[in-house]
A and B are shown apart, each in its own frame.
Chain A
């Protein structure tokens, strides 16, 4: 496995009475994408602020590109690109001026910064708005410009804090495409998100945080399987009284049948190839399947499975973390990390 490019080790951070991080550890191997997943107030942004030299942890260590963030913040800044959750742009400058300023302040020559700015404005479809003042940009345009600013110096390590929150679906797709292109080029990326599908689509590895603690980590598939809350809905072409039996024998669980007997639903453990297996079994039993839908567990489902409680409201961040209901799933790494955090 490649050396970790981003390492958080037992990070603690409180803002006044509010405990933002209570012993968070994770690492991101070079060239991979980590999705830091959690609801509002879970501590995602605080972790990013510490790793990007903006905040100092109360306890714990952090390294980026092998450099200690607390000891050598200036050296870390030469290795990272950051797109913050609140777009950090100068509202009175144009989009182009913003990018050129960032380039110059990063040590690029003005000509080089201008060329790179033009290239990124094109990439993010902002060329038409390049010479307009940023104050008049839409939320999506600001977000894309901020993302462009983070890529300006081609940093080997990137931090994107909720890069698609508040974006329309088209902009979201555009951001996804860019992130995929980036990861193909060997960049190490940490991205925070509230959306499981986003982490699923982009991340090699997911760390779920809640109340300032890591409550689960694994690949997207592992997490979804662990949450055991996918839902299958089958629509038959014609009535099939024995369909419920066939499905039950395959997945277990209580199958619900609609009044006309054509639609059947069941909660299942998410498993690869499940839809194929169901269609095949129903086909062999002589029933034609019109439609089959496997609804993947949402973040809410994952949270329910991991914590025994739904996603906490926006009031989250205070109170004891509800990790007691944590199921003994595969991979005891979470417990390990928590004890590491407690030591720090």
Chain B
């Protein structure tokens, strides 16, 4: 019967299998598409990049906007970069939960018996999450514009500001991948967000200028990568950036600092994640 006829077998042929660049790209595209289909099936998965940013933007601007004076501009212009950093930082939780879910279900065994380029499981996940992060950035920008955020920077500079934060979120998603790969369940991966990501996002200059924090906390906040990323975006957008008067190196050079942080995190977390993935899928 032709439908299930045998493929000519090449048993003696090449045993050392290497995946060409084109094959790797194809595998990554397939895995990315698969993860995007998942999101389309469960749109509530997207709430942390759609509903949450709108909610946070409105809450922060109308609740705190009047109470927090910003030297050299409005709180709305100040907070937008912070909101972008906050939302993108916390949304990396999705990477942890997604990977933990994949490992929890039988599908991972299917991937493991296919002759695919295995890192595509991780890369496809991170790219799908980068795309949802882009959606998140768009939601933040549109909500910001609707409530009065303005920038006098040039188009390239504005785009660079978004790219700076998105690159940081991408590198952070590899840290989240490490967490997801070490989680016993999707639920425990989710708790990572509340224990690590929220403090990371809040102990920074994202929501308030750090000048009013106690000295020890200010030191942490000024060296927090989220602060560098936020200050970098503010600088690129010509938005008020009170951190510019702080002498800590990352606050003086926020763009360089945030790029350095992102590269460093990526360089450590990505190889680590692929090691955890190998370990987790070995029995």
- With an 8 Å Cβ cutoff, the count of chain B residues facing the other chain is 38
Known contacts A102-B110, A102-B114, A154-B7: does B34 contact A93 (CB below 8 Å)? yes
Of A67, A82, A185, which one neighbours B15 at CB under 8 angstroms?
A67
Nearest chain A CB to B182 CB, angstrom units = 19
Q: Which of B101-115 contact A (CB under 8 A)?
A: 105-115
Instruction: Please tell me if the beta carbons of A105 and B16 are within 8 angstroms of each other in the complex.
Output: no
Chain B residues whose CB sits within 8 angstroms of the CB of A182 once the complex forms:
4
| Bound complex: CA A166 to CA B16 (Å) | 39
Instruction: Please tell me if the beta carbons of B106 and A86 are within 8 angstroms of each other in the complex.
Output: yes
Nearest chain A CB to B155 CB, angstrom units = 36
Instruction: Please tell me if the beta carbons of B106 and A106 are within 8 angstroms of each other in the complex.
Output: no
| Bound complex: CA A187 to CA B114 (Å) | 18
Of A53, A56, A65, A123, which one neighbours B113 at CB under 8 angstroms?
A53
Instruction: Please tell me if the beta carbons of B113 and A52 are within 8 angstroms of each other in the complex.
Output: yes
Instruction: Please tell me if the beta carbons of A89 and B17 are within 8 angstroms of each other in the complex.
Output: no
From B29, which residue of chain A is reached at the shortest CB distance? A104
Known contacts A54-B283, A78-B115, A92-B42: does B110 contact A149 (CB below 8 Å)? yes
| Bound complex: CA A157 to CA B15 (Å) | 16
Instruction: Please tell me if the beta carbons of B30 and A101 are within 8 angstroms of each other in the complex.
Output: yes
Instruction: Please tell me if the beta carbons of A55 and B283 are within 8 angstroms of each other in the complex.
Output: yes
1/0 per position for B34-72, CB-CB distance to A under 8 A? 100110011000000000000000000000000000000
| Bound complex: CA A206 to CA B31 (Å) | 39
Instruction: Please tell me if the beta carbons of A84 and B109 are within 8 angstroms of each other in the complex.
Output: yes
From B9, which residue of chain A is reached at the shortest CB distance? A156
| Bound complex: CA A186 to CA B8 (Å) | 10
Chain A residues whose CB sits within 8 angstroms of the CB of B280 once the complex forms:
none
Chain B residues whose CB sits within 8 angstroms of the CB of A139 once the complex forms:
none
Q: Please classify the interface of chain A as helix (H, G, I), strand (E, B), loop, or mixed, using the class held by over half of its residues.
A: loop
From B111, which residue of chain A is reached at the shortest CB distance? A105
State whether the Cβ of A197 lies closer than 8 Å to any Cβ in chain B.
no
Of B23, B27, B106, which one neighbours A87 at CB under 8 angstroms?
B106
Instruction: Please tell me if the beta carbons of A88 and B114 are within 8 angstroms of each other in the complex.
Output: no
State whether the Cβ of B260 lies closer than 8 Å to any Cβ in chain A.
no
| Bound complex: CA A84 to CA B111 (Å) | 12
Known contacts A86-B106, A184-B1, A185-B6: does B34 contact A106 (CB below 8 Å)? no
Stretch of A33-41, A69-77, A227-235 with 4 or more beta carbons under 8 angstroms from chain B: A69-77
State whether the Cβ of B195 lies closer than 8 Å to any Cβ in chain A.
no
State whether the Cβ of B247 lies closer than 8 Å to any Cβ in chain A.
no
State whether the Cβ of B152 lies closer than 8 Å to any Cβ in chain A.
no
State whether the Cβ of B156 lies closer than 8 Å to any Cβ in chain A.
no
Known contacts A77-B114, A84-B106, A105-B116: does B282 contact A56 (CB below 8 Å)? yes
Nearest chain B CB to A210 CB, angstrom units = 22
State whether the Cβ of B245 lies closer than 8 Å to any Cβ in chain A.
no
Chain B residues whose CB sits within 8 angstroms of the CB of A111 once the complex forms:
none
Q: Which of A103-119 contact B (CB under 8 A)?
A: 104-107, 119
State whether the Cβ of A208 lies closer than 8 Å to any Cβ in chain B.
no
Nearest chain B CB to A132 CB, angstrom units = 12
Chain B residues whose CB sits within 8 angstroms of the CB of A104 once the complex forms:
26-27, 30
Known contacts A92-B41, A154-B4: does B283 contact A75 (CB below 8 Å)? no
From A52, which residue of chain B is reached at the shortest CB distance? B113
Instruction: Please tell me if the beta carbons of A49 and B38 are within 8 angstroms of each other in the complex.
Output: no
From B19, which residue of chain A is reached at the shortest CB distance? A74
Of B16, B27, B42, B283, which one neighbours A72 at CB under 8 angstroms?
B16
From A122, which residue of chain B is reached at the shortest CB distance? B3
From A155, which residue of chain B is reached at the shortest CB distance? B7
Nearest chain B CB to A78 CB, angstrom units = 5
Of A56, A101, A185, which one neighbours B4 at CB under 8 angstroms?
A185
| Bound complex: CA A102 to CA B115 (Å) | 10
Nearest chain B CB to A74 CB, angstrom units = 4
Known contacts A90-B107, A185-B4: does B11 contact A106 (CB below 8 Å)? no
State whether the Cβ of B21 lies closer than 8 Å to any Cβ in chain A.
no
From A181, which residue of chain B is reached at the shortest CB distance? B1
State whether the Cβ of B5 lies closer than 8 Å to any Cβ in chain A.
yes
| Bound complex: CA A236 to CA B57 (Å) | 89
Q: Which of B235-267 contact A (CB under 8 A)?
A: none
Give the top 8 A-B pairs by smallest Cβ distance, nearest first.
A88-B110, A156-B9, A74-B17, A154-B7, A105-B116, A88-B106, A77-B115, A65-B11
Sampled A-B contacts (30; CB under 8 Å): A52-B113, A54-B283, A71-B15, A74-B115, A75-B14, A75-B16, A77-B114, A77-B115, A78-B17, A79-B9, A86-B106, A88-B106, A88-B107, A88-B110, A93-B34, A93-B38, A101-B34, A102-B110, A107-B23, A123-B3, A133-B41, A154-B6, A156-B11, A178-B4, A184-B1, A185-B1, A185-B4, A185-B6, A186-B6, A187-B6
Beyond A101-B30, A104-B27, list 17 extra A-B contacts (CB 8 Å).
A49-B283, A54-B112, A54-B113, A67-B11, A74-B17, A87-B106, A88-B110, A89-B107, A90-B34, A104-B26, A105-B27, A106-B115, A107-B23, A107-B115, A156-B7, A185-B4, A186-B6
